[in-house]
Amino acid sequence: MHRTDRFAVKQISRTIGLLLGLSVIGLVPTSRPQALQSAAQGLRLYVLDGGTIITNHPEGFGLTREQVKNTNFSCAVYLIVHPRGTLLFDTGLGDRYFGRPFNESPLADRPDPPSTAGFILVTKTLKSQLDEIGYPPSKINYLAFSHPHDDHIGNANDFVGATLLVHRGDYELMFGPNVQINPAYAALKNSKTKMIEGDYDVFGDGSVMLLFTPGHTPGHQSLYINLPKTRPVVLSGDLYHYPEDLKLDSMPDREKAPGVTEASRKKLQAFVAKNGAQLWIGHDINFFSRQKHAPQYYE
């Protein structure tokens, strides 16, 4: 190779290296087809602390203790503020656990928790966090759960004034004919309820979408938020529990054979790639600890 050619090649590879570096730290826009066009100005996403599950039983999710860095779960609650209204996505473990020792608070209030049980720790009430940012329950227009399991519905009854956005499969789990209704959300039976099918555009401008991702429950849903300054974000509920699930494609045993979770993961991954979105796993406690929490917000 001629000397000047070598110099030119060096310059080009330096430039490529610089661009790659910039793109990693977010200074060079990556391609975001269509996504930004429907971002709503003024859209905000608050991450709230819905408590922690102290647990060391990743085997229940198809993983070993060696494979998982941190087996405890954060229980993130998300408030989306849109010019046309507000949406609360999940409601955490429950303010009634505030101040109680975790070893006296087994998940689902099991009377004789086995050694594999999870324990609940709530160090801040959801109510106080919402009050602090000026969005008490009376200012929440829409309520949606990723799914109605105990760690997502703890404070549900506080939001009876909101319109519940739910897929029929999960509504049947909550209020179906032979179901023992969980007291933590019993009041919602009288809420205004919108039964949704497939993906659902919450505010009608494509910027906030509930994505139908069944498997963990029959009506499980994820949430897409196209924030104008932050990259688009997808909240994946319990489609994934640990970040390790992304690499190892692990899941609870009962979800393996039906293939529904697998199909939803494929759908969501394709959506994430197409929209240049970030995937946020609400139970990823290490990630949660690095995030901005209310009163700070993403926009």
Tell the smallest beta-carbon distance from residue 187 to Zn ion (Å).
21
**Closer residue to Zn ion, CB minimum distance, 55 or 230:** 55
Tell the smallest beta-carbon distance from residue 143 to Zn ion (Å).
17
Cα dist from 249 to 63, 130, 143, 213, 222, whole Å: 10, 35, 30, 16, 18
**Closer residue to Zn ion, CB minimum distance, 252 or 276:** 252
**Closer residue to Zn ion, CB minimum distance, 44 or 216:** 216
Instruction: Find the Cα–Cα–Cα–Cα dihedral 115, 118, 124, 127, rounded to 10°.
Output: -140
**Closer residue to Zn ion, CB minimum distance, 151 or 244:** 151
Tell me: does residue 238 bind Zn ion (CB under 5 A): yes
Tell the smallest beta-carbon distance from residue 29 to Zn ion (Å).
34
Buried b / exposed e along 7-37 (16+ C-beta atoms within 10 A): eeeeeeeeeeeeeeeeeeeeeeeeebeebee
Tell the smallest beta-carbon distance from residue 111 to Zn ion (Å).
21
**Closer residue to Zn ion, CB minimum distance, 137 or 148:** 148
* Piece of the chain touching Zn ion by CB under 5 A; list 91-99, 100-108, 225-233, 238-246: 238-246
What whole-number distance in Å separates Cα of residue 146 and Cα of residue 235? 9
- Cis preceding linkage at 295, omega within 30: yes
**Closer residue to Zn ion, CB minimum distance, 238 or 255:** 238
65 SS3 class:
coil
Nearest in space to 147 (alpha carbons), one of 112, 173, 128, 176: 173
Q: Return the amino acid letter for 166.
A: V
* Piece of the chain touching Zn ion by CB under 5 A; list 61-69, 175-183, 200-208, 236-244: 236-244
Tell the smallest beta-carbon distance from residue 207 to Zn ion (Å).
25
**Closer residue to Zn ion, CB minimum distance, 137 or 154:** 154
Tell me: does residue 150 bind Zn ion (CB under 5 A): no
* Piece of the chain touching Zn ion by CB under 5 A; list 88-96, 148-156, 191-199, 208-216: 148-156
Nearest in space to 93 (alpha carbons), one of 156, 144, 140, 138: 156
* Piece of the chain touching Zn ion by CB under 5 A; list 54-62, 173-181, 230-238, 267-275: 230-238
Residue 166: CB atoms within 10 A of its CB come to 27
β-pair partners for 219: none
* Piece of the chain touching Zn ion by CB under 5 A; list 112-120, 220-228, 233-241, 254-262: 233-241
Number of residues forming the site for Zn ion (CB under 5 A): 2
| Segment holding 142, helix H or strand E | strand 142-144
Tell the smallest beta-carbon distance from residue 180 to Zn ion (Å).
20
Tell me: does residue 151 bind Zn ion (CB under 5 A): yes
Q: Do residues 269 and 24 make contact, with C-beta atoms less than 8 angstroms apart?
A: no
Residues that bind Zn ion (CB under 5 A): 151, 238
